[in-house]
Amino acid sequence: SGSTGTVTMAMNNFSFSPAVLNGTPGQQETIHLTNSSGTVHNFTINDQKVNKDVESGKSADVTITFPSSGQLVFVCSSHAGRGMTGTLVAGSGGASPAASTDSSGGSKSY
C-alpha cells in the first residue's frame, strides 16, 4: 500500500524493544522511540543517514525505509558495544537470530 505505519520502540537497559522489525521491501515506517532509562540513547542507520539522540525520559520519531531485500542493522551509536543493536528485516525472511543470511542456495546439511 506504500502507507507509512508507526511502531513504538522502547530504549532501555541497553536494548531496543522490539529489536527486530519486519516490513516489505521499500516500506517506510515511523519509529516512535521512547527512552525510559537513565542515560541518553541513540538510533542510527548509517546507510540511511538516520542518527537521532533521545534524552533520558524523552521520546523522538525517526522514519526508516526497509531494505530492498535482506536485513539492515540499526544501533545505539553510544552503546552498540554493549549489544544495543537491532535489525530491520525486509520480505519473508524470518526474524530468528539465525535469519537467512545464506542466500547462495548452496547445499545445507541437516
Cβ contact 64:32 at 8 Å: no
pTM over 0.85: no
pLDDT per residue rounded down to tens, the chain (110 residues): 455 689 999 999 899 999 999 999 999 999 999 999 999 999 999 999 999 999 999 999 999 999 999 999 999 999 999 999 999 999 875 554 443 333 334 444 44
Between CA 96 and CA 102 the distance in angstroms is 13
Q: What are phi and psi of 82, to 5 degrees?
A: -100, 10
